[in-house]
Chain A
């Protein structure tokens, strides 16, 4: 029993999956047993978007206290609009859409790093301000375009094999790779070392600046791809399509067992956290409760998870 408790403490992500299972069961039972499979596959499909943005947020959060990427929602919307606009519904222009996504993600990531490392602006203000500038650009651009995504991209975004969304399969593989990178690769170990103590990591010869650059650029790139796929999934970009993702990208990471003060991560937990939060909103819908309860409960759960975790930042 003690050994089990110790293992559970080590593998906190198990809790997020347990939570997801509980809310799924409540949903199924209160719906009279109908739609059990459909709820789950819909959950997998939508949670995949949270996972994609959450993976980037996890990399940034892993880099230590204060590191957080608040530009994710703005990057998503901007990349979604610009890429869909560039392709103009033409499948042969798919390459251009991908180039636009990489350019938006890469440049915002570099701007964030420049503000944080060169101008010494605190990460949350740097990423938030950069995000507001992106948001203005998106608002101004959105008035000039109403393009639909190319059919091939829509098919990929909504495609399923045996009921399982393709995006979910891709993201399960991606999360598994990210988990291996964090636990086995030199980069992963270096990143965790930076997260535990940047100064000690620097003195140990770890290229801390390069690590920070990689995580912020990776986060923006993942956000840009998420934006494109979400726009393709919903048949076009919309100004409010990413409004949930500021809190959600952080929430899925924290609920999944990643330490918000850095130095400890769980890639599997991102899936657990995403499934939990998506299935919870389904459950509340089935129970006939509205957006107010959903927002309130999400906030309560995040704070409760923080309270139960044993992270203590130094004074």
Chain B
């Protein structure tokens, strides 16, 4: 088994697939199939995994920021803000709604430029920004209300041929982000911002533009995540996005990316999003109370980081 994995792992890595996260996800899906066979049917997966798409895009938003060796503590409240804007305006004033969402993306880009120019710690800036997003969301929607337009709801419940929609979204998101970050030429520049910013600057690239681009992309993924969430819950709630902050960090790290150095795995982040959601699903199949879900997810993150630190020490 060990020798087999020693041969498979490099081959998978060569293909851009992170070995351990894929193995963990496979075991989880098999475990779910044994505990609840009906859960692995097309309908079962479509239902159980329906909250995966917003999680995937939250994870990809966090991935962009982690690529710059930063961390975004405001992505959860930003997703809430998108949800509140969409639930209020998307049906009645779609143009105004998209204008506001574009302004949100621009604000994210400006935040990246600000962090680069003033060399500020991203954690405090994004934490400060998280309160701005929360404040705006509460101003728009003091109590949960609103609705999603029918076309958005229909989109979220679309029965795709062959693959359940959440899996289809995952595959497409993984292919796109893997291509963008690992193969496109500007993706390489962006990863350079996390690994060796002085070299990037000496090579003539603007660090301000690069960080701003990564943050704007994070904002764009945040908007997509918020819209998908709106489609699923069909209402607006200023606190609905809060859990996505930790979950997105956990998904990215469990998927094999590092906090520093621009060492990232976009496919891993998507796989990580599935893993984080399935921990909750698997827990609900056991007699353990769902109160412990936060604990399990926090422990999983610590376990992955601890094991990684140990393997580094032995290497």
Query: Residues of A at under 8 Å CB distance from B?
Result: 65-66, 68, 115, 119-122, 124-126, 128-133, 135-137, 139-140, 246-247, 250-251, 254, 260-261, 290-300, 302-303, 306-307, 311-315
Contact = CB atoms under 8 A, between A and B. Distances in A.
A129 B301 contact: yes
Contact of B119 (A131, A246, A315): A315
Nearest to B111: A303
A313 B294 contact: no
Interface in B280-309: 289, 291-295, 297-299, 301-302, 305-306, 309
B22 interface: no
Interface centre among B137, B138, B310 (most CB of A within 10 A): B138
Interface residues of B, number: 45
B128 A124 contact: no
A135 B294 contact: yes
A296 B118 contact: no
Contacts of A260: 120-121, 124
A129 B132 contact: no
A299 B289 contact: no
B302 A296 contact: no
Contacts of B299: 129, 133
The secondary-structure label for the interface of chain A is helix
Contacts of B249: 125
Contact of B130 (A66, A140, A299, A315): A299
B120 A313 contact: yes
A121 B305 contact: yes
Contact of A136 (B123, B142, B259, B291): B291
Nearest to B293: A136
Contacts of A307: 114, 118, 120
Given A121-B309, A125-B253, A132-B295, A296 B139 contact: yes
B189 interface: no
B187 interface: no
Contacts of B298: 128-133, 136
Given A125-B249, A290-B138, A65 B121 contact: yes
A124 B131 CA distance: 18
A303 B118 CA distance: 11
A133 B124 CA distance: 23
Which 9 pairs show the lowest CB-CB distances between chains A and B? A296-B135, A299-B131, A292-B138, A295-B135, A136-B295, A292-B139, A132-B298, A302-B128, A299-B132
Contacts of A251: 128
Given A125-B249, A136-B291, A260-B124, 13 more contacts: A65-B121, A121-B305, A125-B302, A128-B246, A129-B299, A132-B298, A133-B298, A140-B291, A292-B134, A296-B131, A299-B133, A300-B128, A306-B124
9 contacts: A119-B306, A124-B123, A129-B299, A132-B246, A136-B298, A260-B120, A291-B135, A291-B138, A306-B128
A173 B295 CA distance: 38
B127 interface: yes
A166 B259 CA distance: 44
